A and B are shown apart, each in its own frame.
Chain A
Amino acid sequence: MEDKILEIRHLSKAFGDHQVLRDIDFSVGKGDVTSIIGASGSGKSTLLRCINLLETPTGGEILYHGQPVTGPGVNAAKYRSRVGMVFQSFNLFNNMTVLENCVVGQVKVLKKSKAQALEDAMGYLNQVGMAPYRNAKPRQISGGQKQRVAIARALAMEPEVLLFDEPTSALDPEMVGEVLDVMKALARQGMTMLVVTHEMAFARDVSTRVVFMNQGVICEDGTAEQVLGDPRQPETRDFLARFRNA
């Protein structure tokens, strides 16, 4: 489909002298499930954080439905409410219960009524299988459960795109499955997703597109089959070979 939700043009980001992202160009269409893979330090997470404006890009632009979101006079909060984000470290609000975590954004940002917000939050908590835990505080549940709540919290904002920043990297191996299951279900429902991940199986089976990043640039960009099965760049081949041996 040609309806581009996000377009990233010549994006660059530097921390001081350290150039983390260089001239990144790519776009996200409706329903795309894009996996971003690459070695640690290749700029994957920084790219995601730039897209959500948690980092301010040093160059280039990000267009949301054709409108630039960087630069002065842009309502960053409003844009962020349309682009959900799931973090490696969950970042659930520690002072709230599971249910409150999913309600607060709807009430305060989307200005929904409390009753409506509660109903919708329960719907999303059911979807991720965390409804029975709604009265628990984040410190009382496991990592996998926290991440599922974090996904429900992001979904509750009814975002157009969901960004996942290594959602399973901080989890015990036995909990990775439950989070990936939820993500797979979301992908099947047609959610537009942008996933930074080290889970090659997820990238291969679920994503419609795989982007390989190396040293701050997009090295290879194509369908999952092509990038993972028949990589054209030597860097991609090296990376994948190291992964298979590991």
Chain B
Amino acid sequence: MDKFVKLIQDVEVLWSKYYPMYLNGVKNTLILALVATVIGFLIGLACGVLNTIPYTKQDPWPKRFLLKLLRGLIRVYVEVFRGTPMVLQAVFIFYGLPYFTDGAVAFRGNSGMWLASIIIVSVNTGAYMAESVRGGIISVDPGQTEGAKAIGMTHVQTMLHVILPQALRNILPQIGNNFIINLKDTSVMFIISFTEFFAAHRYIVGVNNMYFPSATVEMIGYLTMTLAASFLLRLAERIMDGTDHYKLVQEDSLTMTAGTYNHPHRGTPFDERSKEVRERIKQELKFGRSRGDR
């Protein structure tokens, strides 16, 4: 028990002395993870969309060739960046560029380090997101595409208005996953002396010997960040799903009054509640609100 008391005391000492440094690390970690996840998602979105452009044997050969080439390139990108550690990618980009250009192109100073970090984490996230987006697109029911085609939508319109909104909702948990992974994995950016949260720890324990208490601060800090991120993502999902209820609109200028449509046997749709709907309401009362049938 007294060990815990000692630990808490040490943590308090560390925090009161170094909290600006820790907080600065948290800030940098959050900014890097957020920016890189957004950019990485955009890269992944572009890859996923380009990867799923359909072609048939009837298409002219330049189109087929181009699409095949595109798929090949994306494949190489995904495999290379997914298959190597981000630490090494950082080294290759940060030190490799000046090495090959004899110092003509290099990431210099603080802004250079930020730029390099954002590029590396984004490109890495993009490789994962490319597959997530592709999976999200092909998991949308093909009937949705057929429905859109049948009313004359082009591939672009179908993607934009029908497929992507549904695919993005489905991959939102994966985007969240990537964001949380980035919050933690940005710690490897110490290799190019980026001062994120973990780098703060490395610096602080370098000037005193309170390694374990500082690690405790780090643990609590990372967990706080990831829990907050999880909570916000759940919230976003719920907002995207919208409400499970809808209002019948009967009394306004757009809806004609009852009687314009009649079922010979069962009155009008206005007093009709189908079996399915009744059943679902029953289930909802029993088990609480469901998030719809996906």
Chain A residues engaging chain B, CB cutoff 8 angstroms:
52, 54, 56, 72, 77-82, 84-85, 87, 89-95, 97, 104-105, 108-109, 122, 126-137, 139-145, 150, 153-154, 157, 172, 174-175, 177-178, 181
Which of the candidate stretches B8-16, B89-97, B259-267 sits at the interface with the other chain? B259-267
Other A-B contacts than A82-B152, A87-B146, A157-B152, 7 sampled, CB-CB below 8 A, are A79-B152, A80-B150, A90-B143, A105-B151, A129-B269, A140-B277, A143-B276
Binary CB contact string for chain B from 207 to 249 against chain A (1 if under 8 A, 0 otherwise): 0000000000000000000000000000000000010101111
- Taking a contact as CB atoms under 8 Å apart, the answer to whether A109 and B151 are in contact is yes
- Taking a contact as CB atoms under 8 Å apart, the answer to whether B146 and A129 are in contact is no
Kindly name the residue among A128, A139, A140 whose own CB sees the greatest number of chain B CB atoms within 10 A. A140
The distance in angstroms between the C-alpha atoms of A148 and B169, with both chains bound, is: 27
- Taking a contact as CB atoms under 8 Å apart, the answer to whether B152 and A177 are in contact is no
Given known contacts A80-B150, A126-B260, A132-B270, A93 and B162 CB-to-CB distance under 8 angstroms: yes
Chain B residues engaging chain A, CB cutoff 8 angstroms:
56, 58, 60, 141, 143-144, 146-154, 157, 161-162, 165-166, 169, 242, 244, 246-250, 254-256, 260-261, 263-265, 268-270, 274-277, 292-293
- Taking a contact as CB atoms under 8 Å apart, the answer to whether A85 and B150 are in contact is yes
Residues of B within 8 A of A89 (CB): 143
Number of A-B residue pairs at CB separation under 8 A:
134
The distance in angstroms between the C-alpha atoms of A175 and B272, with both chains bound, is: 11
Secondary structure call for the B interface: loop
The distance in angstroms between the C-alpha atoms of A177 and B274, with both chains bound, is: 13
Look across to chain A and name the residue whose beta carbon is closest to the beta carbon of B150. Answer: A85
Residues of A within 8 A of B153 (CB): 77, 105, 108-109
Quick one: which of B150, B169, B265 contacts A154, CB cutoff 8 A? B150
Quick one: which of B166, B248, B268 contacts A133, CB cutoff 8 A? B248
Residues of A within 8 A of B154 (CB): 77
Within the complex, the shortest CB–CB distance from B91 to chain A, in Å, comes to 43
Residues of A within 8 A of B161 (CB): 93, 104, 108
Residues of B within 8 A of A79 (CB): 152
Quick one: which of B260, B276, B277 contacts A129, CB cutoff 8 A? B260
Given known contacts A127-B261, A132-B249, A122 and B254 CB-to-CB distance under 8 angstroms: yes
Residues of A within 8 A of B292 (CB): 137, 139-140
The distance in angstroms between the C-alpha atoms of A113 and B143, with both chains bound, is: 27
Within the complex, the shortest CB–CB distance from B229 to chain A, in Å, comes to 25
The distance in angstroms between the C-alpha atoms of A93 and B169, with both chains bound, is: 14
Residues of B within 8 A of A126 (CB): 255-256, 260-261
- Taking a contact as CB atoms under 8 Å apart, the answer to whether A87 and B143 are in contact is yes
- Taking a contact as CB atoms under 8 Å apart, the answer to whether B263 and A145 are in contact is no
- Taking a contact as CB atoms under 8 Å apart, the answer to whether B152 and A81 are in contact is yes
Look across to chain A and name the residue whose beta carbon is closest to the beta carbon of B147. Answer: A91
Residues of B within 8 A of A56 (CB): 56, 58
The distance in angstroms between the C-alpha atoms of A57 and B152, with both chains bound, is: 19
The distance in angstroms between the C-alpha atoms of A129 and B271, with both chains bound, is: 12
- Taking a contact as CB atoms under 8 Å apart, the answer to whether B152 and A132 are in contact is no
Within the complex, the shortest CB–CB distance from A176 to chain B, in Å, comes to 12
Residues of B within 8 A of A78 (CB): 152
Residues of B within 8 A of A127 (CB): 260-261
A-B contact pairs, 18 of them (CB 8 A): A80-B149, A80-B152, A81-B151, A91-B150, A97-B246, A109-B152, A109-B153, A126-B255, A132-B249, A132-B269, A132-B270, A133-B246, A135-B249, A137-B242, A137-B292, A140-B244, A153-B151, A181-B263
Look across to chain B and name the residue whose beta carbon is closest to the beta carbon of A174. Answer: B275
The distance in angstroms between the C-alpha atoms of A140 and B154, with both chains bound, is: 28
8 tightest Cβ-Cβ pairs between the two chains A and B = A81-B152, A129-B261, A91-B147, A142-B274, A105-B151, A85-B150, A91-B143, A136-B246
